[in-house]
Amino acid sequence: MEQTGPYLECHRPVGGNRSTKRDLVVDVFLRQEGHLSADDLVELIKKEDQRISRATVYRTLQWMVDAEIARKVDFGEGRFRFEHSYRHPRHFHLICKSCNQLFEFLSSDIEVLIEEVTAAQRFATSQSVLQIYGTCEACRTGCQPIAGTVTTELVFARDALRIAIATERSGLAFYSRAASITRDKRGRQVFRRLADEEREHLSRLEKRYKEVLAQDPQLEDRPPFLFFKGAADGLFAVGAEELSQGVDAKQAFMIGIKCERGSHRFFKRYGERFEDSEGKQIFLEFAEDEREHLELLIREYRALTRRSPSKRASARRSPRRANA
């Protein structure tokens, strides 16, 4: 964690003095993965410096919670555990009652529902926790899970890229189809341009995806972390289906605007909800790309409407209505 030092300086609570012992505790904590109890951390610290007391570790853990470096979680064991919050998105847990393993996942659909419920009840939320208890696949079937550990951030980045790639593929199919059915010359050029951009973006995302997979040979087969309803097939899939039913150029632009607006809102809304991570960056970068496409489609739709023969003829027949 080469960024530990600068991160601590930025997140040191008001009045917090620099402590070599505390910095060592924080450094050891951030080097670990998973969910540590205070006793787990004490054992790790003792391996590096026997002089650091249990009380110092406990105080430092609470300091990290106050500084939002760590999150305190309760899995019903009679003790708290602690996990990273730095570059580690807030998430929910599946807990196996047979082997006590923890499995993390994130669903902003669930977060939105929680916000709707608390808003309706006029309830000021300080923390939301979702823990699902049951039996994991390994305990049920005897199948061994994928070996090795991997950071949640890496799985999060993989899943964010998968959603962006699915959206880009559906966008490429949409604009390629729109270009083939549009009779308006300028409209056809716009759709071809957007298809070319989607193809270029897709290539860039797929390259980035391979770079993420290279960090863990088994990453592609690890269970998903990020869940979004309706995003797996790409956010333009419904629009492509509408095109196949037969539409004119204006209708194609309107469908494209609806898809781009929905995609922009989706990636921006959820990207802003995520805590600092590569997954957050992927969502916000993609939201910016979709915003640019949306603005282009709106401009070209207005231009198409202005040069539409049917509108000019209607304006000549009804000057009063046009002036109104």
- Residue 309 — pLDDT band, cuts 50, 70, 90? low
The beta-carbon contacts of 176-185 under 8 Å, at least 24 apart in sequence, are: 177/240, 177/243, 177/244, 178/243, 178/252, 178/255, 178/256, 181/243, 181/246, 181/247, 181/252, 182/249, 182/252, 183/248, 183/249, 184/249, 184/304
Give the pLDDT confidence score for residue 212 in this predicted structure: 94
Locus of tokens 């056809």: 188
Q: How does pLDDT run across 119-137, given as a tens digit for each residue?
A: 999 998 766 778 888 998 8
* Residue 122: predicted pLDDT: 92
- Token readout for 12 is 């040191």
What CATH number does the domain located at 18-86 have? 1.10.10.10
pTM of the model: 0.70
pLDDT digit string, tens, across residues 261-293: 999 999 998 888 777 788 889 999 999 999 999
User: Sorting pLDDT into bands at 50, 70 and 90, what band is 209?
Assistant: very high
pLDDT confidence of residue 292: 95
Taking a C-beta distance cutoff of 8 angstroms, is the pair 114, 128 a contact?
A: yes
Partners of 84 in beta bridges: 70
pLDDT confidence of residue 81: 81
The span from the CA of 280 to the CA of 260, in Å, is 19
Q: Do 152-310 and 18-86 fall under one CATH topology?
A: no
User: What does the pLDDT average to over 204-214?
Assistant: 95
17 — pLDDT class (breaks 50, 70, 90) = very low
The more confident residue out of 86 and 7 is 86
Average pLDDT over residues 28-47: 83
**DSSP H stretches of helix in the chain:** 4-11, 20-30, 38-48, 54-66, 108-120, 137-141, 152-181, 185-213, 237-243, 249-273, 278-306, 309-317, 319-323
Q: How many other β-carbons are positioned within 10 Å of the β-carbon of residue 267?
A: 26
Instruction: Tell me what percent of the residues of the chain surpass a pLDDT of 70.
Output: 83
pLDDT score for 89: 60
- Domain boundaries, given as residue ranges, for the chain: 18-86, 152-310
**Which has more confidence, 117 or 103?**
117
CATH number of 152-310: 1.20.1260.10
Q: Which ranges of 67-124 does DSSP label H, i.e. alpha helix?
A: 108-120
- Residue range 245-274: mean pLDDT, rounded: 89
**Res. 208 pLDDT band, cuts 50 70 90:** very high
Residue with tokens 């209607």: 314
